[in-house]
Structure 1
Amino acid sequence: MDSNFEKIAPDTETREGLYSATRSDPGNWTSGIVGIGRLVGSMRGISAPTMAHWLGSADLVTPQIMQRIDHATFMAISRAYYWRALNADAVGVGIDRMLFDFGFNAGVSRAAKQFQQIVGVPDSQIDGDIGAATLRALDTVRLEAIAGFVARGWAVQLQQDLGVSPDGALGPLTLSAVNKQAMWRRLMIYALASRQELAYRSFRGFMENGDGWLNRLNWRVKASLSDLDALALA
């Protein structure tokens, strides 16, 4: 059952543009490589290579096909290739949105591998597949391990949420507050935010697109925290 998909996916859709056919964007080419294949564009964040995979052949993808990607098609593709690929139902509220929206924006494999690293999957077993072994790691990961991935700026926000001194150091007092207030999912959201910000800053296009990427990250974090708050009130 895709419990939160119908709520989360449309929010991601609103963050994506409509039809675009920029020559310099590899996602607008059927091959996924600039200058190779055909320039057909992207729509609602669905790239040309993704649409080729969906239809079964790059030969079937045309600008007209891309322009006709509607909400229903977006939902079907994002459910099959992003939500389920990230096992978003299994990771639970808050984490699901963080993984799904980042995976849609920056790649499923990257999102999954970051998550596996945070929950303590051994480096040799990090494969981008959030399966049974990764979920077992999620169930047993220690707060201290998650905290080790939280960057200082995000740590301050967590401490403000918890009502403890916002010094940016996630020591025993902060982690005790996390434990007492059952806030481990909140801690995980900030750990994911830290890794996702680091990834954005490493991308070649950061100088040009970084403000937009970081704005999206801030939105993603706020929306994920709101999901947690709504669950607590339910």
Structure 2
Amino acid sequence: MTFDEAFRRLIGHEGGYSKDSRDPGNWTLGKVGVGTLKGTKYGLAANTYPNLDIKNLTLEQAKEIYKKDWWDKLGGHGLHSAITFQLWDFAINAGRSRAIKELQQAVGVTADGVIGPKTIEAVNAQDLNDVLLSLTAERLKFYTSLDSFKTYGKGWTNRVAENLKFAAQDN
């Protein structure tokens, strides 16, 4: 899968500008009421990018950020592209370390949040569909464990459902 295809899918999940004061990600210091409420646009949030002019961010600028800061740094080289996409989308939504740890739990290796040779070997030793389904299960378990699931859970589960459709296309 190319980055352009992954980005097209991602932007289908990530909306335009939002300034929801209940969302810790919309605050520059990552806690509701702490820092400046700058919001989120195209999924790029104030807590991760406190110095970014989020409100005036263009789609092309967002694409450059996702390529440089997320796609290139994921460390998913050597994994099937179907897994790389699911992991990348999860990382953007919940953090890179969290997504990698959930993948590691899904394949039974030490969950250290770093994709190294042992993780790649364990992922590639298993059936592709088994890994995709197990990672998706871990993702849903993570979301439902969050206090904010009551507020944002419907959106998160809809995102996962759409990603399951992509997984079916990609396997």
Same fold (TM over 0.5): yes
Alpha-carbon distance, 1:50 to partner: 2.2
Write out aligned runs for 1:212-231 (5 A): 212-228=155-171
Match of 1:165 in 2: none
Asked if 2 retains the 8 angstrom alpha-carbon contact of 1:43 and 1:69, the reply is yes
1:84 to 48, 62, 72: 72
Q: Deviations over 1:103-136 (max 9, x none)?
A: 11122111100111222323xxx22111233213
- Paired amino acid for 1:214: T
Q: Name 1:149's counterpart in structure 2.
A: none
**Map of 1:10-159 to 2, 5 A cutoff?**
10-52=8-50, 58=51, 61=52, 65-122=53-110, 126-140=111-125, 143=126
Could you say what secondary structure the match of 1:49 adopts? coil
Whether contact under 8 Å (1:86, 1:129) holds in the other structure is: no
**Equivalent in the alignment of 1:9:** 7
Contact 1:28–1:41 (CA<8 Å) still a contact in 2?
Answer: yes
Question: Which range moves more in the overlay, 70-79 or 83-92?
Answer: 83-92
- The alpha-carbon deviation at position 46 of structure 1 amounts to 0.1
Q: CA RMSD in A?
A: 1.8
Unaligned runs of 5+ in 1: 53-57, 144-183, 229-234
Amino acid at match of 1:14: G
Alpha-carbon displacement from aligned partner over 1:31-69 (angstroms, at most 9, x marks no partner) = 1122222111111110013223xxxxx4xx4xxx21221
- CA shift digits 1:138-183 (9 cap, x unpaired): 344xx5xxxxxxxxxxxxxxxxxxxxxxxxxxxxxxxxxxxxxxxx
Answer yes or no: is the 8 Å Cα contact 1:4–1:89 preserved in 2.
Answer: no
Quote the Cα distance in structure 2 between the aligned partners of 1:139 and 1:23. Answer: 42
CA distance in 2, matches of 1:107, 1:15: 16
Contact 2:38 2:55 in 1 (8 A): no
Do residues 209 (structure 1) and 152 (structure 2) align?
yes
Amino acid at match of 1:11: R
What amino acid sits opposite 2:123 in the alignment? L
- Please report how far the alpha carbon of residue 192 of structure 1 lies from its aligned counterpart in structure 2 after TM superposition: 0.9
Cα distance, 1:43–1:4 mapped onto 2, change above 3 Å: same
Identity across the alignment (%): 33
Q: Point out the structure with the larger helix share.
A: 1
Is the aligned partner of 1:185 residue 2:128?
yes
Q: How many residues matched?
A: 171
Residues 83 and 100, structure 1, Cα contact 8 Å, conserved in 2: yes
